[in-house]
Amino acid sequence: MCGIAGQARPGGAMVAAQTIAAMCAAQEHRGPDQRGLHLDGGVGLGIQRLRIIDLATGDQPVGNEDGTVTVVLNGEIYNYAELRRELAGRGHRLATQSDTEVIAHLYEELGVECLTRLHGMFAFALWDSRRRRLLLARDRIGKKPLFYSLRGGVLSFASELPALLQDPEVPREVDPQSIDAYLTYGYVPAPRSIFRDVAKLPPAHRLVYEDGATTIERYWRLDYAAKRRFADERELHEEIRASLRAAVARRMVADVPVGAFLSGGIDSSAVVAAMAEQSSRPVRTFSIGFADERFDELPRARLVAERFATEHHELVVEPDAVAMLPKLVRHYGEPFGDHSALPCFYLSQLAREHVTVALNGDGGDESFAGYQRYSSNLLAARLEALPAALREGIGSAAAALRPPADPRALRSRVQRFAGRLAGERRHRYLDQVSVFGAGERAGLYTPQFAAQVAPSGSAEVMLEPWREASGDELLDQLLEVDATVYLPGDLLTKIDVATMAFSLEARSPLLDHELMELAASLPPNQKARGAQRKIALRGALRGWLPDAVLDGPKRGFELPVDRWLRGELAPFAREVLLDRESTERGWLRREGVESLLDRHLAGEDHGRRLWALLTLELWARSATDRAAPAPEAVAA
């Protein structure tokens, strides 16, 4: 795992070495073991390396035999040994045992189509000096990030936004449409970034730059249209287990200590089970818990740790949000409103004390239908048979009721469900996953700011991939949209930044693209049916995992943000959101924000919304009011 950076200029103009070095230094936490630079006429590449594979000879940049192809890689190529043997058989001479070098030689064979042969998580930059071509590429699912800025034929890129901003030529004009998207989703979805002149390369895309001209193409996507049928359910379960075992085995290859995050949920428990089966020594597992029992999963994590005799480490924390929030903001580099990033930081810090690589359970919900919102949308679709006037009446009645204080309460969930019944499917789902709905955002914005935002622009982030979805059935469309938008925009961003803050590499077996292709090929009723979710995955794991894990209620990595914002965090939030620095920014109406704070204190639940506003304002102070600092080492 590493941080990469670079710049390309048209006409062979030289790139300043100090610019590349500054971009590398700003992300040294991603790779503290080695810094490497490569300068050629028209290009500069930089790398901060975290040594995972080939500790002795695998430093970067690395290239082919005659130095005409040079690569810097952030991530891991899991099938590198297989590719290395194949390339050696074709006459290539490889000087290292690293996975990065394989990319250079594979590019010699296949050009930009080399991406189709790579199995792993990656963002890399490859310079072809013969063709004067720079290739930037991001892995299929979007596990590794890549920001870039293109202006006047000059291209700059980096793994993190604060690193990219060390290039003094990159403009810092905030994009109002990106703020609107952030307040819709809680993150800024690709290809946008919070700055107008900075973009994210989307997952499964490559960017080719040749002397100022740029093309961006998608090279892979999941297919939910082609379905497989299994005559015997046992055959399906065995294939899922075999695919999971293979995905885990690929991700256990390392020359440094490897462990696993263990939440006590189905997905991380399945990963630990497969690791224990294939490991010659006890698996190191890491869990964190909370004093508030509503959010504590340590008892189930212990069940799994005992079942598989792991070397288990756990930590009970009472997060200090006031102290940690500014540090989170600096590391994410742009507004990021998922408050579960906070426990991810604590968990990453705990794991890094013992290992350099940690496997996790990310991706199981998006592939095998684990979220409750999938079931509620399937039910809502069945109720579309009711007359429209009746559904509208139910929605109006639900809206007139005062919502319970606890958003997790059954009455609260039923009320929200009833309020969405009259909506069209796509807009119903958009409303369900939004932090602020369109009307709520409009009520917050100043007239001047509202005039800069396209009313339907943020909705298109989700509606466009829905229109392009390959599947015909509702559940497949929901899963494809989440895999395209929510998974890379929120979950993978969260885990990448949190782990890299501590120089820890995170690997996600359930995001193995072959396993995801298998899940996409399953008929929807084998993933969710009625109130049942993860049907095929649970069946495959039955007897392997404890029943208490398989049948227990799903808990997200949540925190009592609603309680904090009525207690210890309330004065801080009010001070930050209502002081002159915030109100004179001209984005949000003071009275709208003050009303939200007051209503939350009075018992309504606006914890998620206030956290998003607080993160936005702290980001603005860090990144736009002053020179953007490089993220400091995190001390929780």
SS3 readout for 425-461: HHHHHHHHHCCCCHHHHHHHECHHHHCCCCCCCCCHH
pLDDT over 60 at 63, yes or no: yes
Q: What is the CATH number of domain 2-218?
A: 3.60.20.10
User: Average of pLDDT values for 460-468?
Assistant: 95
Asked whether the predicted pLDDT for residue 624 surpasses 90, the reply is no
Q: Mean pLDDT across the stretch 344-371?
A: 96
CATH ID of 233-369+483-548, from 3.40.50.620, 3.40.50.300, 3.90.580.10, 3.50.50.60: 3.40.50.620
Q: What is the DSSP letter of 545?
A: B
How do the domains of the chain map onto residue ranges? 2-218, 233-369+483-548
More reliable by pLDDT, 634 or 157: 157
Q: What is the mean pLDDT of residues 437-458?
A: 94
What are the DSSP E strand ranges found in 130-257?
133-138, 147-151, 154-158, 199-200, 205-210, 213-218
Q: What length does the chain have?
A: 636
- One-letter amino acid identity for 136? L
Mean pLDDT calculated for residue range 416-430: 78
CB atoms within 10 A of CB 373: 15
Does the pLDDT at position 628 exceed 50? Answer: no
**Given this model, what pLDDT does residue 131 score?**
95
Q: Which residues are catalytically annotated?
A: 2
pLDDT computed for residue 422 by the predictor = 64
Query: What confidence category does residue 295 fall into, taking pLDDT thresholds of 50, 70 and 90?
Result: low
DSSP designation for 192: B
Are 222 and 483 in contact, with CB atoms under 8 Å apart?
Answer: yes
* Residue 529 confidence (pLDDT) above 80: yes
CA 518 from centre of chain: 21
Stretch 430-449: mean pLDDT: 94
Is the model's pLDDT at 228 over the cut of 90?
yes
Q: What is the spatial distance between Cα 470 and Cα 492, in angstroms, rounded to a whole number?
A: 23
pLDDT for the residue numbered 629: 47
Dist CA 529 CA 540 (whole Å): 16
Mean pLDDT within 296-320: 90
Q: What band does 509 get if pLDDT is binned at 50, 70 and 90? A: very high
Asked if residue 633 has pLDDT above 60, the reply is no
Cα 25 to Cα 20: distance, rounded to the nearest angstrom: 9
Q: Residue 380's pLDDT band (boundaries 50, 70, 90)? A: confident
Mean pLDDT of the chain: 92
User: Looking at 36-45, 67-76, 174-183, 378-387, which range is the least confident one?
Assistant: 378-387
pLDDT at position 151: 93
Q: pLDDT (tens digit, 9 = 90+) per residue, 552-570?
A: 877 666 778 888 899 889 9
- How would residue 320 be classed by pLDDT, with cut points 50, 70 and 90? confident
> Which is more confidently placed, 204 or 531?
204
Give CA 268 to chain center in angstroms: 16
Distance CA 175, CA 303 (A): 47
Integer Cα distance of 432 and 477 in angstroms: 15
Element (H, E) at 85: helix 80-89
Both tokens of 400, joined, read 């007139």
What's the pLDDT score for residue 175? Answer: 97
**pLDDT confidence of residue 626:** 46
Q: How confident is the model over 216-234, as a mean pLDDT?
A: 94
Summarize the confidence of residues 8-20 as an average pLDDT: 94
* Whole-number Å distance between alpha carbons of 98 and 84: 9
Q: Is 80 exceeded by the pLDDT of residue 98?
A: yes
pTM recorded for the entire structure? 0.94
pLDDT of 390 reads 73
**Residues 577-590: tens digit of each pLDDT:** 999 999 999 999 99
188 has a pLDDT exceeding 80: yes
Whether pLDDT at 86 is above 60: yes
CA triple 499-49-215, angle to 5 deg: 90
Give the pLDDT mean for 591-601.
96
